[in-house]
A and B are shown apart, each in its own frame.
Chain A
Amino acid sequence: MSWSYAGAVQAGVGKARTQDAFQVRLSPSYAIVAVCDGAGSAPHGEIGAKLASGTFCDRVGAMLTDEPLSAEQTARVLEAVRGEIVEQAQGQGRPMGQYATTLVGAVLHRDWSQFVQVGDGLAVVRDEGAFELALEPEVAEYINTTTFVTDAHAHQRVRSRVLRQPVREAALLTDGLQPLVTGSNCTPHGRFFATVFKNLRAECGIDQTASDWLGAMLRSELVTSRTDDDTCIVLLRRS
């Protein structure tokens, strides 16, 4: 069994740098992926997003057996993510909130898949039928905006789900693209996901052409006329 993937990240219109980041780790038996959205209001959200996505993939990879992570293991992973950010913040003498970031992570295994999410963003999956949300969206709160892995109460706001069946395709994205590709109740817009997955053609490993195409898509007028947020998307397929 092997995995192929493609991903792209793009700074919002008028911004010099993106605060979104993603990481992918592949092994013969599983794929680990994380996408993170560093808060626009956090001066170092970009670093937070890179640390969080990298740490998530590393820690999950180090812990993983043939079974999904237990709730306790998931909590340890997120604690490690937070710990990395604390260390960075302390080293720089800055408050941790300056590294605020969301996280959507996934582990795809031959027999199951697991999704972990803190804050907004989206994971969409398909085996044979239609594209579906892997996790229900964060409950829209009128008062609060979103949750960050750096929040003190983040561990209470983790959403996690194990699908006890194989998943052939998974897409993870940050909230910038979300309103463009999901309809009411966050239903995935089939036309979008079908098209992007058609363009993921490599048999295994990174599909550079598809990644470049995704980057061109994120820079296109079709996207930038609809949002000026940072955007990030990763596609994975099992073959």
Chain B
Amino acid sequence: MNDSCDFPELEPLSEEMFLNTERRCPVVLLQDTSTSMAVHIPKVNEGLQLLRKDLMSDRLASQRVEIAVITFGPVQLIQDFVTVDRWLPPRLQAQGSTPLGEALGSALKVVSERKRAYREAGVPYYRPWIWLVTDGAPTDPWEEPAKSIRDEVRDGGIEVFAIGTDNADIEVLRRISSPRPPVWLREAKYREMFVWLSQSLRPVSKGAPGSTLELSPPTDWGEIRL
């Protein structure tokens, strides 16, 4: 039904009456793809498909959430930021070591470049998320990049989530995600984890920028390691 036809006497509705409310909610998926991940990679790939599917079922979220994918190692920007409605999840493959330090630096770099692009284009944005998943201990210097991440979190520039599994070093993750505790992934529940990520992003991408995060506990897939 075309509602405006019901009011021939009145001023018609027009696009010009409304301001553009374009805004972006950037998320970096920082995914360990070292050799030891080989057995789990199909589940990660499935999880990425679910993440897309769940976000696509939410029209505004699919236009506002932007995904970038960085894998390590070696560290590669597999997908630069793209809104979910234009994102085709990659088929990741496992290879190499676990250069976590370099990966963190790379994530910070793409986030800061993205923020600059938003500012130049005048697009309002939500605080970017970095979503780190690793199954092993870092094989490169990580303390300096971890500190840069913590500083950025402290200054309110990013939200960081660290998820560990198998042989991950929970102490290292704690140093990265502080003050938010890391989460231990149970039984390779990557599907559930990515659905949780989607469900958490959906309200964020519609709220007022800067409002408090209200996250449900990750009970379906992980344990918070305080």
Contact = CB atoms under 8 A, between A and B. Distances in A.
Interface of A: 13, 41, 120, 140-146, 175, 179-183, 189, 191-192, 195-196, 198-199, 209-210, 212-213, 216-217, 219-220, 222-223, 225-229
A179 B19 contact: yes
B19 A181 contact: yes
A219 B18 contact: no
A212 B7 contact: yes
A8 B17 CA distance: 17
B17 A192 contact: yes
Interface in B1-60: 3-4, 6-7, 9-11, 13-21, 59-60
Interface residues of B, number: 26
Contacts of A209: 7, 9-10
B141 interface: no
Q: Most B CB atoms within 10 A — which of A182, A212, A213, A229?
A: A213
B210 interface: yes
A199 B3 CA distance: 15
Q: Shortest 6 CB-CB distances between A and B: which pairs?
A: A216-B3, A145-B211, A199-B10, A192-B17, A142-B210, A226-B21
Nearest to B18: A180
B7 A198 contact: no
A223 B13 CA distance: 10
A192 B156 contact: no
A195 B19 contact: no
B13 A217 contact: yes
Contact of B18 (A13, A146, A216, A222): A222
B98 to A, nearest CB: 34
B208 interface: yes
Contacts of A222: 13-15, 17-18
Contact of A183 (B19, B59, B206, B214): B19
B206 to A, nearest CB: 7
Given A142-B156, A143-B212, A213 B18 contact: no
Contact of A191 (B7, B9, B17, B214): B17
B3 A181 contact: no
A219 B206 CA distance: 18
A144 B212 CA distance: 6
A181 B160 CA distance: 33
Interface of B: 3-4, 6-7, 9-11, 13-21, 59-60, 156, 206-208, 210-212, 214
A191 B16 contact: yes
Contacts of B11: 195, 198-199
A143 B208 CA distance: 11
A227 B6 CA distance: 23
A216 B7 contact: yes
Q: Most B CB atoms within 10 A — which of A141, A182, A198, A216?
A: A216
Q: Most B CB atoms within 10 A — which of A143, A179, A227?
A: A179
B6 A220 contact: no
A219 B17 contact: no
B203 to A, nearest CB: 9
Contacts of B3: 216-217, 219-220
Given A145-B212, A217-B13, A228-B59, A189 B7 contact: no
Given A140-B210, A143-B212, A220-B4, A192 B18 contact: yes
A212 B21 CA distance: 25
B66 to A, nearest CB: 18
A173 to B, nearest CB: 13
Contacts of A212: 6-7
Given A41-B214, A216-B13, A220-B4, 17 more contacts: A142-B156, A144-B211, A146-B208, A180-B21, A183-B19, A189-B18, A191-B16, A191-B17, A199-B7, A199-B11, A210-B10, A217-B13, A222-B18, A225-B59, A227-B21, A227-B60, A228-B206
Contact of A213 (B7, B60, B156, B208): B7
A199 B9 CA distance: 9
A145 B207 contact: yes
B64 to A, nearest CB: 11
Contacts of B214: 41
Nearest to B206: A228
A220 B6 CA distance: 13
A49 B57 CA distance: 29
A62 B17 CA distance: 38
